[in-house]
Chains A and B, each alone.
Chain A
Amino acid sequence: MTGAVFTRTRNGAALPLARVPVTDFDAFRGALLGDLAAGRRLVSFFATPEAGAAAALWAVVADDGPGTLAVARTLLEGDGFPSLTPAAPQAHLFEREMAEQLGLKPQGHPWLKPVRYRPSWRSGHDAWGRTEGEPILPAVGDFFRVEGDEVHEVAVGPVHAGVIEPGHFRFQCHGERVFHLEIALGFQHRGVEESLLGGPHRQTTARIETLAGDTTIGHATAFAQAVEALSARSAPPRAQAIRGIALELERLANHAGDLGALAGDVGFLPTASFCGRLRGDFLNMTALLCGNRFGRGLVRPGGTLVDLDDALAAELGRRLEETMTDLRGAAELLFGAATVLARFEGTGRVDPATAEALGLVGPAARGCGIDQDVRRDHPTGIYRFTHVPVMTAHDGDVNARAFVRWLEAQRSHDFVKAQLASLPTGTIRAQEKPIRPEHVAISLVEGWRGEICHVAVTDAEGRFSRYKVVDPSFHNWMGLAMALRNEEISDFPLCNKSFNLSYCGHDL
């Protein structure tokens, strides 16, 4: 990494702002593009309002091999800057986001559209020249269109047929064949990032826990790590183990649910039925731990709110084995059925080069053979002491994404079982300490959908002057669009389920 521009750090660490030099834009851009061309990943890329300038741009890059992160910043004098997206497609949605939030104009961006359909934070600066107060309607605007006599367009959503979150999908079809899918989101936008400014407030934890409600533990852990880094303290070992158990239970519940949903989408009812119930059994284990099926009220900066006594640990262990036996039966039935494999294999393929170029994360990336996992590459907490093997598959299709989930579920089970058998002793919460002013902390967690990234920047009073959240779905929605190319439109539900992305995690 170009030393003069980027400052090296690691996951779960904080740096004084003075150690992150403000470089000029050309040097920043050159160093960032150089890093990405060398195979490093763009973990976060965002803009913050800055007095006396248009904005400050921040970039965080991960080097998975040595397990390091690097952060850089620059100041923009005017609203325009040459887009990085043509050279580095991973930047595409980040640049759209900064255009929307601060009215910046990444010149040469191939498809500069709003992300969440909301007004700019900076009055008088709008990337699309909309006047202030003009109504902004979600998913209204240009869509990529394929023209031709036999080409037709199919529009779906925001309200869908199932019990799921809203989003708008626009297909360009030739008969049943999808030439192109464009996804327009933003319907779930609740203003989470804006609301975190000036915090932490008393509302902050509840908003972190509902960033993506099915990833409560993942986001709460990322937040806790960021605050711990900023206040130079760490959670006691016992709390770290409990957080790890909760994170893996969250993965187990969602992976089990996804296997069932995928089975349901190809009409394989036995596994669909079994897994619907098994998902609930995993959620109930989380409830056993903290009283809430989604893990609300468990993870807090400094540790956890509740402890695990011997009786509870034994009960959790008993239920884990019982549920895992049933999950094994359900999964083996699924992957052993020729009718299922005939539908899973070769459907919704994403090739590894596309996955890398777009910066896909989680099971969607690992299903393309991309060997990355925050738990191994950038371990924090309990994962520094207990390693979870990284599972990959190589075909990049629905089957690969499903099979990676089943492999990961087994590893999560092994991990939870081992932790329950050897919980560290001691307290569960470190003493509170003030958040240090003018620092930046970067916190990564491998949530069940993939890499969660929180970047917290503090002001002179130790309040958040910026709190940037990147949910794994932010990286992966474009992956779903690519998976649909040349597929039959009737396979959309199956492909969609194989990614199972978060709408609210994307919309914030």
Chain B
Amino acid sequence: MIRTLLARISQKHRTILWPDGPAPALAQRYRGLPAIDAARCPEGCRDCADACPTEAIAFSGGKPQLDLGRCLFCPECEAACPEKAISFTSDYRLSVRARDDLRLEGAALPLAKALDAKLLSLFGRSLKLRQVSAGGCNACEADVNVLGTIGWDLGRFGIQVVASPRHADGLLITGPVTKNMELALKKTWDAVPPPKIVIAVGACAISGGPYYDRPEQLGGAAAVVPVDLFVAGCPPHPLTILDGLLRLLGRLEDEGRIAAR
């Protein structure tokens, strides 16, 4: 007993203060929201699009358009650009309510708005989620799990991952939804009592991610269930996932858009 208490003291209090205090420091090399300065794009250059592993970058009118739903936040485009027109910022806020909101056209990312008043009154202070991995590589799963550790303590927001869909208010889905998981996902969804919500975490669950063109998968959760929140990343940082969840529940005060870059 005394050893346990001494260990407890030496391990210290570790729960982050955010959102009431500062957010935990992200690594200096962390790749968050990409910023594109299309004005610097050389005529006819498509180097970033050619380097992208998921065809997340398309050109229209000579300007690059980035689909954050497909983006793996890998360093390939940044490295390929001869003019350094693409760079990754440290902005970790990457959650939106609609799939199209992730298609960046130079301006801004419309961050997720809260659920409507009726759903907020039901889930605002207590949200129980069932997690379904449907082809996920265990990175998104791991960083969802992290939110349950003492460092993040998801329970303090009334959010909990529960063991049965019957106990849940919604699903948190990771993975591109493999064909072999389609039926299981659908059955899990059917077992959740309405009203219910769906949160798609990671590039795979939004668009198929690295497997976007494979016939063995369905291109994300929206192929099977209606999605209420999209959290971009590969995998999204735990802070990104928590930010998305709290925005959805109207628990974050800065409702505004990210300033235009």
Q: Name A's B-contacting residues (CB within 8 A).
A: 116-118, 137-138, 158-159, 161-166, 186-191, 195, 202-207, 209-214, 216, 257, 270, 273-274, 276-277, 279-280, 284, 287-294, 296-297, 305-306, 326, 329-330, 333, 336, 502-504
**15 residue pairs from A and B, CB less than 8 Å apart:** A162-B131, A163-B161, A165-B141, A191-B214, A204-B53, A205-B53, A206-B53, A206-B209, A209-B210, A289-B29, A292-B31, A292-B73, A296-B72, A297-B75, A504-B137
B17 contacts partner chain A, Cβ-Cβ < 8 Å = no
Q: In the complex, are the beta carbons of B135 and A504 less than 8 A apart? A: yes
Residue of B nearest to A201 (CB): B53
- What is the CB-to-nearest-CB distance from A476 to chain B, in angstroms, rounded to a whole number? 15
B37 contacts partner chain A, Cβ-Cβ < 8 Å = no
Which one of B102-110, B146-154, B247-255 is at the A interface?
B146-154
Please, what's the 1-or-0 string for B1-18, where 1 marks a CB less than 8 Å from any CB in chain A? 001100110110010000
Known: A164-B133, A274-B11. A190 touches B214 (CB 8 A): yes
Contacts of A188 in B (CB 8 A): 133, 135-136, 175, 178, 180-181
Give the CA-CA distance A504 to B151 in the complex, in Å. 27
Contacts of B213 in A (CB 8 A): 203
Q: In the complex, are the beta carbons of A306 and B29 less than 8 A apart? A: yes
Those of B71-124 within 8 Å (CB) of chain A: 72-76, 79, 88
Given pairs A163-B141, A163-B145, 6 additional interface contacts (CB within 8 A): A118-B216, A137-B183, A210-B209, A291-B29, A329-B11, A503-B138
Contacts of B137 in A (CB 8 A): 210-214, 504
Known: A165-B141, A190-B178. A280 touches B53 (CB 8 A): no
Contacts of B11 in A (CB 8 A): 274, 277, 326, 329-330
Contacts of B27 in A (CB 8 A): 284, 287-288, 291
Contacts of A204 in B (CB 8 A): 53
Give the CA-CA distance A305 to B181 in the complex, in Å. 35
B207 contacts partner chain A, Cβ-Cβ < 8 Å = no
Q: Which 10 A-B pairs have the closest CB atoms?
A: A213-B137, A213-B139, A276-B149, A291-B29, A161-B163, A191-B216, A206-B210, A287-B27, A210-B137, A206-B53
B33 contacts partner chain A, Cβ-Cβ < 8 Å = no
Q: In the complex, are the beta carbons of B178 and A202 less than 8 A apart? A: no
- What is the CB-to-nearest-CB distance from A415 to chain B, in angstroms, rounded to a whole number? 22
Contacts of B136 in A (CB 8 A): 165, 188, 213, 504
Contacts of A270 in B (CB 8 A): 4, 7-8
Contacts of A191 in B (CB 8 A): 211, 214-217
Q: In the complex, are the beta carbons of A202 and B3 less than 8 A apart? A: no
Contacts of A116 in B (CB 8 A): 180
Residue of B nearest to A116 (CB): B180
Contacts of B14 in A (CB 8 A): 277
Q: Which of A186, A297, A330 has the most CB atoms of chain B within a 10 A radius of its CB?
A: A297
Q: In the complex, are the beta carbons of B8 and A187 less than 8 A apart? A: no
Known: A206-B72, A504-B135. A166 touches B184 (CB 8 A): yes
Give the CA-CA distance A294 to B31 in the complex, in Å. 13
